[in-house]
Structure 1
Amino acid sequence: MIYHGNRFTVKEGVTPEQREEALESLRNQGRVIPSVKSFVVGRDYGGEYEWGAIFVIEDLEGYWEYLMHPAHRNTDRIGLPLVDKFVSFDITDDPDPRMAEKIAELHQRRYDGDPELTELVSGLGSYTGSAAPGPHGK
């Protein structure tokens, strides 16, 4: 299993309505992407981030489905412009010693095929984690 997580803070000036639309889009990902086995979206406590989401996915094939699903793309489109600091991470019980590299390859393949996403991610104030360094080495 792969537990894919995101932690983030929103930019100054983001309205509660904008924030809730983005959070609801994250929740929708959990509801409609077939490879997502379970999920949680909510407040992030105990660190420097305000919000977070965890999506439980069975394997790399499901991870790719998750990344490419239109519901995920919708969240990118409406949510990333609102985000200041962002970190992604993955926790897995898969013993493959190349798992981190394989996950990074999936993200890079997605960036390579989606110039609009590349631009959105490049506009984040801070971006680290399993999907980083991102399309421009941020």
Structure 2
Amino acid sequence: MSGWVQQGYDEYAKRLPRECSLVLKEIAPGKRTKNSDIARIIKDEGDRMLAAIPHYAHVVSLDIPGKAWTTVELSHSLKRWQDSGQNVALLIGGPEGLADSVKTLAKESWSLSPLTFPHPLVRIIVAEQLYRAWSVLNNHPYHRE
């Protein structure tokens, strides 16, 4: 990833306290060529994603058909996730989206927007929104309505 992407992600991830830490596990996308078997590539990416999920994690897919949350709704979800004591795995798919096996495992599906964002930007948006949701829960001045 470009330096600005890493810098943006790191800025918000480091702001989160230890009890709400954000850990990025990047799954390399499959190689795509003009004659690639896209269905196989998506399945392989999904298999690698599933293997990277911590045991007993609460899985949330990030997908356009998911639920679009307001910041306050996201903060309620964050609180619920924290109260559960489980790790939470937020899964973002490759260029063609998430494998069906990943979608099936997800307990929730979150849509950032009906717009399509470049994947590097998505990681920054997710990190910033999680920090914003945390700030709502903790009456931190970062979030102002």
TM (normalized to structure 2)? 0.28
- Which is higher, the Rg of structure 1 or of structure 2? 2
Relative contact order (C-alpha < 8 Å, sep 6+): which is higher?
Answer: 2
